[in-house]
Amino acid sequence: MPWLLAVAVCTFFALFSSDSQAEYSKQEKSYWAFQPISNPQVPETKERGWAHNEIDAFILSSLEANQLTPTQEADRSTLIRRATLDLHGLPPTPEAIARFVNDTSPDAYEKLIDRLLESPRYGERYARHWLDLVRYADSDGFKADVLRPNAWRYRDYVIDSLNHDKPYSRFVKEQIAGDELYPNNDDAKVATGYLRLWPYENNQPDMGRHWEASLDDITDVSGDVFLGMSMKCARCHDHKFDPISQKDYFRFRAFFSAISPWEEVYLGGDAAEQDYQKQFARWYAMTAPIQEEMDSIKADPWEARRQVGYNKLPPYIQEMMEKENRTPYEEQLARFAEKMMNYFATRDYEKSISNEHVQRWHELKKQLAQFDEFKPTEREAVSAVRDVGRTPPHTLLNTENGEEDIAPGYLSILDPGDAKITALDEQIHSTGRRSTLANWLTDNGNPLSNRVMVNRLWQWHFGSGLVNSSNDFGVLGDKPSHPELLDWLTQKFINENWSLKSMHRLIMTSAAYRQGSIRTEADMAEENDPENRLLWKMPVRRMDAEQLRDAMLHVTGEMDLTMGGRAVEEEASTRRSIYVVNKRNKHSTMMNNFDTPDLHNSCHLRDVTTTPIQALALINGTWTLKRAERFAEHLGNIEVQNKKERISIAFQKALGRAPKEDELKEAQAFLELTKDNPQEEREAWVDLCHVLINTNEFIYIN
């Protein structure tokens, strides 16, 4: 059988895996990321007045050890802009700024963070970070790049989970094994959509090969996302740098190897299903003669179109289709083939209705449509996965001992034995492998998964993680800049029941986070730590594509804050960017120019490129120009005393601050040039607005 073994594509390296029980070197065993999470003491610092919480003690002590001092706290308008763009992905409104700046209570900043965390805008922002990691897309990729009609449910699930501060442990369990652990829970049904995010080609007849590639993809991405370990290298050979053998790769892959895509999964539970069936029965009873006649016309063309798909299948798949008793693996491929055949049948059967029936067919369709008001609304379908049964397929690997069936297991350096598979309830037609993995990933003692997530949180707030390479805690990755802080935070995360919001609050209320980003005093900081790894200031960051688009729509007053549902088009819609369609074969849009991820790889950190193509999009692009026009209109509708005041509002909206005296003069001069011509004056306002949303101050976050 072709392509059965992943090793088939690995032509360069040795084909035989060494024994995963091999001895590990002392160096490998003592590698930091594999050590148990320690319980470090909060360090003492010389300076006592700076710290707001324990984080600061860790940061300050390493600054002191390097003869560095932190930067003084940023001013309030900078803080609120930073925090709002961080948690909401939107700039603050002038009203919100005024409220915070004028709040004299000692905990004004803490209250601000609480307000921001309570808003649903938070989930819409932080979901993007997660969707990047899991390479979420609304389309299949490959040639046709077919839109996935139900993909958005997974996106909404992520937003909703974040807004409800679902414990991260539960969030992971639902995605890896929601169907096994919480079989009747709607959230969990949608969450298994995580296991459906791989690119798919409905026109690929070589199912075996496609399926292998898909399982590899799930394995690779899951290693990146949950373990912060680059498994991919070990697919073809023992990892060259990390203690991950090829066998370890297949042990990890075996957790997923029993799954199959499942479309017949609906939301609403038994009640909704019974209700649907009742309505359906009533509708069917009313229309039975029409439907029966239609069914009889449809039968042949449907079968003919399925046959077209069948004929494309290679003989080894056709053989599987003909079998009565299939192995689990054959069942997986047969399901795959069925999916393809039904896709073509659904799409094309009407074209195959013979001439003698075609007129009657359309008459019947019309007749049936007259009963549409009685037709039950479609059930809310989910793109889910389930295991193909209680018996897993083999996970085959070519080893020195011949072809070996690999049992699921964790990284051998952490646990060399086979994983003890959780026994599932008899009614659940599943292997239990994924719940076993999910439990291990969310175990208090897991040295990788917990640290990895805490490190991501840090990265999302500061722009880089305590471990810079947040998808790679391996030898080729970076060492933690503050290893004790990483462990302290990890313990805290577990103790706070994996609450993300608690961690956001803790990190954002630290003095470290509140530092200014501009160092006015001349000292050694730039020279001693040019990369700012020790965090002697807050780094300046460019908005990412979503922040930029959302910020523009926000300041122009156009933003539509409707939440959830099907994806929208980037240019036509004024909804938040999280709802913009993610097409794998996407085209060059404004957002793509600003480094949106490629939607095939797990993206742990966005690139920040600076290109003339971006400048062209911002200064010449019609979308941006339109925003400037809307911004000017929006300003024009605000009651003001004089032009100066209007300029001031424009600056406050766009930049979060009033213009300085010289800026005000420049802006006035810019507008003055056109004062006797209303048309030109209108244009000048548009241009001023356009300039403001092109400035570095708008695009960058201090």
Burial of 49 (0-12, 13-18, 19+ CB in 10 A): exposed
Binding to another protein in span 413-472, by CB under 8 A: 469, 471-472
> Within positions 2 to 41, which residues make up the interface with another protein, using CB under 8 A?
2, 9, 11-13
Cα gap 196→263, rounded to integer Å? 11
Q: Which is nearer to another protein, 610 or 641 (CB)?
A: 610
From CA 508, how far away is CA 461, in angstroms rounded? 8
| Chain CA centroid to CA 498, Å | 19
**In whole angstroms, how close is the CB of 33 to another protein at the nearest point?**
11
Q: Would you say 357 or 600 has its CB closer to another protein?
A: 600
> Any contact of residue 598 with another protein (CB under 8 A)?
yes
- For 5, 176, 212, 291, 451, the CA distances from 239, given in Å and listed in that order, are 18, 25, 20, 59, 22
- Compute the least distance from the CB of residue 654 to another protein, in Å: 11
Give least dist CB 200 to another protein, A. 11
Q: Where are the alpha helices (DSSP H) in 496-642?
A: 500-508, 511-514, 525-528, 545-555, 590-593, 612-619, 622-636
Taking the complex as a whole, the smallest distance from the CB of residue 274 to another protein amounts, in Å, to 43
At its nearest, how many Å lie between another protein and the CB of residue 2? 7
622 binds another protein (CB under 8 A): yes
Q: Considering only residues 633 through 672, tell me which ones interact with another protein, judged by CB under 8 A.
A: 663, 666-667, 670
- Tell me which stretch binds another protein (CB under 8 A): 73-81, 186-194, 430-438, 475-483: 475-483
CB count within 10 Å of CB 679 equals 8
Q: Interacting stretch for another protein, rule CB under 8 A, among 229-237, 374-382, 444-452, 564-572?
A: 229-237
CB closer to another protein, 554 vs 604 = 604
Which is closer to another protein, CB of 161 or CB of 449?
449
Among 98, 146, 407, 691, indicate the residue that binds another protein (CB under 8 A): 691
Report the residue from 86, 238, 387, 595 that binds another protein according to the rule CB under 8 A.
Answer: 595
User: Rounded to an integer, what distance in angstroms lies between the CA atom of residue 356 and that of residue 677?
Assistant: 71
- Report the run of H or E that residue 399 belongs to, with start and end: strand 396-399
Among positions 258, 297, 313, 320, the unique one binding another protein when judged by CB under 8 A: 313
CA distances from 531 to 25, 470, 653 (A): 33, 17, 32
Decide if residue 517 touches another protein (CB under 8 A).
yes
List all residues 6 or more positions away from 196 whose beta carbon is below 8 Å from its beta carbon. Answer: 154, 261, 383, 384, 385
Q: What residues pair up with 17 in beta bridges, in sequence order?
A: 399
C-alpha 256, offset from chain centre: 20
Restricted to residues 124-143, the positions that interact with another protein (CB under 8 A) are: 141-143
Q: Among 377, 401, 427, 588, which residue sits at the site for another protein (rule: CB under 8 A)?
A: 588
Among 80, 188, 320, 617, binds another protein (CB under 8 A): 617
- List strand residue ranges (DSSP E) for 200-325, in order: 259-266
**Residue 568 and residue 579: Cα distance in Å, rounded?**
6
Question: Residue from 98, 601, 629, 664 that binds another protein (CB under 8 A)?
Answer: 601
What is the Cα 394 distance to its own chain's centre?
31
Stretch that binds another protein, among 150-158, 338-346, 425-433, 522-530 (CB under 8 A): 522-530
Residue 401 CB, nearest approach to another protein (Å): 25
Q: Indicate the residue type of 480.
A: P
Shortest distance, CB of residue 213 to another protein, whole angstroms? 6
Closest separation between CB of residue 189 and another protein, Å? 28
- Per DSSP, helices labelled H in 391-508 are 433-441, 449-462, 483-495, 500-508
Cβ proximity to another protein, 206 vs 387, nearer residue:
206
> What is the DSSP track for 160-174?
HHHHTT--HHHHHHH
CA-nearest of 258, 250, 259 to 412 is 250
Phi, psi of 348 (to 5 degrees): -120, -5
Query: Please, which residue, 144 or 288, has the CB nearer to another protein?
Result: 144
Region 193-222 residues binding another protein, contact defined as CB under 8 A = 199, 201, 203-206, 213, 217
Smallest separation (angstroms) from another protein to the CB of 588: 6
Q: Which is nearer to another protein, 159 or 221 (CB)?
A: 221
> What Rg value do the Cα atoms of the chain yield, rounded?
29
| Distance in Å, CB of 695 to another protein, minimum | 5
| Among positions 26, 46, 48, 587, the unique one binding another protein when judged by CB under 8 A | 587
Which residue carries 């909404």 as its tokens? 156
The smaller minimum CB distance to another protein, of residues 233 and 553, is found at 233
Q: CA separation (Å) from 624 to 108, 272, 534, 691, 692?
A: 35, 45, 38, 10, 11
Residues 315-354 touching another protein, rule: CB under 8 A, are: 315
At its nearest, how many Å lie between another protein and the CB of residue 593? 8
Please state, as a whole number, how many other Cβ atoms lie within 10 Å of the Cβ of residue 59: 26
Please identify, using beta-carbon distances, which residue of 237 and 575 lies nearer to another protein.
237
Structure tokens at 369: 């449509």
Instruction: For 16-130, list the strands marked E by DSSP.
Output: none
Size of the site for another protein (CB under 8 A): 91
Contact string (CB under 8 A) for another protein, positions 237-256, x = contact: -----x--------------
Residue 483 interacts with another protein (CB under 8 A): yes or no: no
Interacting residue with another protein among 25, 35, 277, 311 (CB under 8 A): 311
Give the residue carrying structure tokens 């297991």. Answer: 409
Distance (Å) of CA 60 to CA 67, 377, 454, 702 = 10, 60, 20, 21
Choices 272-280, 305-313, 338-346, 441-449 (CB under 8 A): range interacting with another protein: 305-313
* Interface map 137-176 toward another protein (x if CB under 8 A): ----xxx-x-------------------------------
* Element spanning 383, H or E: strand 381-387
- Of 192, 197, 187, nearest to 148 (Cα)? 197
- 611 scored as a contact of another protein (CB under 8 A): yes
Which is nearer to another protein, 108 or 213 (by Cβ)?
213
Long-range contact pairs involving 637-645 (C-beta distance under 8 Å, separation at least 24): 643/668, 643/671, 644/668
Min. distance of Cβ 145 from another protein in angstroms?
7
Q: Kindly state whether residue 77 participates in binding another protein, applying the rule CB under 8 A.
A: no
